[in-house]
Structures are given as C-alpha cells and as structure tokens.
Amino acid sequence: MLHSSTHTLNDYPLKKGPRYTYYRHEKPVLQRDVFAELAREEVSERMRDKGMFWLDVHNPARKEVTEIAEFFKIHPLILGDIQARTTRQKGEVYGDCSFFCLSVMNKNVVSAAPGKRGEDGMEEAPTTVYMLVFESFILTMHFKDASGTLRRVLGRLETGVARGRIRIHGAGIEKDQTSMWAVYCILDDIVDEFKPEIRTLELEVDAIDDIVIGVPKTDRKDILHRIRQTKKRATLLYRSLKPKQEILSFIVQGYAGVFASDNMVYIRDTRDTIVSMLDDLEYNIDVLGSCHGNYLAHVSIEMSAFSNDMEKVAKKINIWATIMLPLTLISGIWGMNVNVPGAKDHAGRDVPLAECGWFFGLLGFMVSVATVMYTSFEFL
C-alpha cells in the first residue's frame, strides 16, 4: 500500500517512514514511499516549467537508483559512484550537472550503551550525501539517516520566503530562491554542524593542557587515553573538513558552472569558515602533540629522580655489605669444625698450632680457589 503524507514546512520533525522528500517554495513539503507516484504528481510538471525544487532520497534500493538516474538523465559515472556508495568527498562537473559527494556529521544514540548521557551515550556516524545540482533543481541521495540536516535546511529555506523570494535576515537583501541558494544552505548547514564539535574539542584540549604536568600517578593511564582519543577525534574532524574546503574552492573558482556569481559571496563565506575551523584544528592537534611530549618528559624526569634515589639506596647497601663481608668471613673461618688457633681442648688447655693442620690446610685451599677464580674472571 502506498504510504503518503503532506506537511507544511513547520510540521517538524519529518516522518522517518517516507523515503522521498520533495520541496518547492510555493507548496507544502511532500513525502512519498514510491518515486513513481511523486514523479507523476509533481516532478515532471516542475521540470517542464523549470521551476526550482529539491528532491531528497533516503536509502534507495539499487533498482530505485537506476530508475531515478534514467528519469533525470544522470551521467553514468555519477550513477556508478552512487551505486558503489563512494565515500571520498569530491566535486565534479558532468555537462549541465554538478556532482558533490559530502560527509555529514550525524550523532546517534549508542545502542550498546543504553542509559548513558552526553558524549558517552552518543557515537559519530558520518553520513555520505550525494548531491546533484542542476540549473533549476537539486537531487540529494543518502543511504544513512540525514533527517537532522534535511529538517534544518528545509526550515532555513522557509525562513523569509515570500512569493518565491528569500529575505536574508540582518542584511536587508532579497533574492530569488534558486537551486544555487538551496545548495548554499545545505553546504552551510553541513559546515555549521562541525562548530559545536570543534568547540567541545577545544575545551577538552584546554583541560588536558592544564592537568598534563600535575596529573596524579593513579590517573596517568587515563590521561594518555584522553590524549590519544582527543587527537584521534581532532584528526577525524580535520580529514572530514579538508575536502570540503577543496570542494568550496572548486565552486568559488568557477569550475562548477551552474553557480551564479551573486551566490559566490555566500559560498566564499562558508569556505572562510572552514579555513578558520581547519586552523583551529591544526592548532589543537599541535597542542595535543605538545601535551604528549610534555607528559613523557615529565614522566622521564620522575623516572630519573626515582633512579637516582635507587642508586643512593644501592650505594648504602653496598657500603654495609662491604663492612659485613670480612666480618662474615672471619666468623665463618673460626667457626669451622676443626681445631683452630686459640681454641681449648677438653682439658681446658690451648690447642697447639701443630694440631691445627686441618685449619691451615682448609685456609690454604680457600685462598687457592679464590685466586684461581679471580684470575679466571680477569681473563673474561
């Protein structure tokens, strides 16, 4: 059974069931499960009169992707990238169509960690969005949930819209609503989603930088883990943002010919925002590297101090061992079970030296063994 629903732009959140979302500024948002119904109702008519519209497709089957490609006459290379689910971010031009592959920040509740709140209860699940920009319309596809981006951009397109024109708040400017303006809204929203992530990262880096020297011994394993995880997160953000800078530069330099010159000022502003974010990420990555180096240097100093203390203890033990060794030797020699000089016999008389032969023999044997062993060690 065909499931369909009609919404005004204020009816948020959009339902997750319908996978096709159709927007045009004169009419409410339409959502459908089947592309054929939507194509017969709206898209064909809109394409004929070259009116601006935006069609978003969530998790299409391979057959549906082929059907959409045939309907919109999409280039085979673009179709191949979408069907292969290419994740490398890029921007390319194929005739009258500009094709962009973008990753979108998307936070989902961690299913394996129920009940956790904040960052511990969330996980990053980047969503790849394929955006095809034609002269009068936009087509976006994604195989993971991107409803947050869709909802925000639709609300943004609605703001200030009157009779097909857009009022840019705070600037006193009105301009026609075009597919290029919608593309700017999508790109700007994707970039804006990185701002809270980078701010959270900066706070974590500042916290690590403050405690890295005075961290208690019991927390050392934790601080190394925090440094590693934070640096990994910063690197992932950097790797996600850097291609977006290249894509926006690709647009600003005029390679994506479908963009009108009056939209470039807004595209450049978004690109400048990305450049600033990348600078912040590079700085934070450098700070984390310094924190790691400072921490290891601090640990090395502590280990050196500990080693010096152990050497002092070992030196005292050696001194006492040196003192006790001759005492032990003397007591051992005179404690042998033979007649020794100075001993008394059963009658209480001193044992004569002539009867201490075993004593002097054993003493000579001990000296000989010690001499041989010392000489052997000297030649090793």
Residuewise pLDDT in 10s, the chain (380 residues)? 333 333 333 433 444 567 888 888 777 788 888 888 777 667 777 776 667 889 999 999 999 999 999 989 999 999 999 999 988 999 998 888 899 999 988 665 334 444 444 444 445 567 899 999 988 889 999 998 888 888 888 888 877 543 344 444 444 444 556 778 888 889 999 999 899 999 999 999 998 888 887 767 656 678 888 899 999 999 999 999 999 999 998 888 876 555 666 678 888 899 999 999 999 999 999 999 998 888 888 888 888 888 888 999 999 999 998 888 888 888 888 778 788 887 777 777 777 877 788 888 888 888 898 888 888 887 76
**Whole-model pTM?**
0.70
Distance of alpha carbon 311 from alpha carbon 63, whole angstroms: 75
Read off the pLDDT of residues 120-177 as tens digits, 9 standing for 90 and up.
444 556 789 999 998 888 999 999 888 888 888 888 887 754 334 444 444 444 455 6
Q: Which residues fall within 8 angstroms of residue 26, CB to CB, at 6 or more apart? A: 51, 164
Tell me the C-alpha distance between 335 and 168, whole Å. Answer: 106
Largest pairwise CA distance in the chain:
138
Per-residue pLDDT tens digits for 98-107? 999 999 886 6
Provide the token pair at 138.
């936009």
Per the CB < 8 A criterion, the answer to whether 132 and 138 are in contact is yes
Q: Using CA atoms, how far apart are residues 153 and 206, in angstroms rounded to an integer?
A: 33
Amino acid residing at 298: H
Element (H, E) at 337: none
Q: CA–CA separation, 370 vs 325, rounded Å?
A: 15
- Please tell me what DSSP assigns to residue 344: B
Q: The tokens of 9 are what?
A: 């732009």
Which helix (H) or strand (E) is 329 found in, with range?
helix 264-333
